[in-house]
A = this chain, B = another copy of it.
Amino acid sequence: MSQQRTDSSASPVFPDLPEATVARLPEYLRALHGLAQEGHDTVSSEGLATAAGVNSAKLRKDLSHLGSYGTRGVGYDVALLITQIEAVLGLTKHRKVALVGIGNLGHALAGYGGFASRGFSVAALFDAERSQIGERIGTLVVRHIDELAEVVAAEGISIGVIATPARAAQQVADQLVGAGVTSILNFAPCVLNVPSGVDVRKVDLAVEMQILSFHEHRKALTALPVPPEQPAGEATGS
């Protein structure tokens, strides 16, 4: 009981933070870490926006949504802003991740340092193939998928990463959800059905490539098929 109202710097709750803003906060955080590394104590919205690759007005509005602490005429305190954003994103609490599907991609993910550098730790690896079980990667050992529920409960894992073939992804997702996982990052190219309350994010390489392909196609079509309609045109160049 006693929901202490945490007037000071406790976990703030932002139920109505725009999703577009949430998606940009990690970018700001990365840019801020870079600035801190370079010794900056404060940064203007313009400077931070440039480092994050966004419009400065958008950045200011984003930060204003979380009641940010900037100082007019000066800018934002880098260290304070890092703390604030990390609190909003819930990065103060270390979150454990289960990685399922230790194949081509799974091996790369398992050895990736980008998890730990933020507030995440890969706590367990799972696969279905006997040949993979028991393999040691870093400090972890690949376990059989049947142990998932047990390990998730024991380790307090809340996030699952799916790196299995697409045909196995839905079943794995079901198992993750059944084990108590409430967030899933899916690398398999397929849609996942999960109960409400479970968040799924998808990373699909093929989709990204095809979007690039479209723009390549468009560039090729708009650049070439503009033949000299008016051959009498004057200065066509510079």
Contacts and interface: CB of A to CB of B under 8 A. Distances in A.
A212 B201 contact: yes
B25 A183 contact: no
Contacts of A111: 104
A11 interface: yes
Which among A53, A107, A216 has the greatest number of chain B C-beta atoms within 10 A?
Answer: A216
Given A13-B225, A17-B214, A26-B210, 7 more contacts: A14-B218, A15-B222, A26-B207, A89-B210, A95-B213, A118-B206, A182-B216
Contact of A216 (B22, B95, B215): B95
B206 A26 contact: yes
A44 interface: no
3 shortest interchain CB distances as A-B pairs: A90-B217, A53-B191, A26-B210
Contacts of A91: 210, 213
A53 to B, nearest CB: 4
A93 interface: yes
A235 interface: no
A39 interface: no
A88 interface: yes
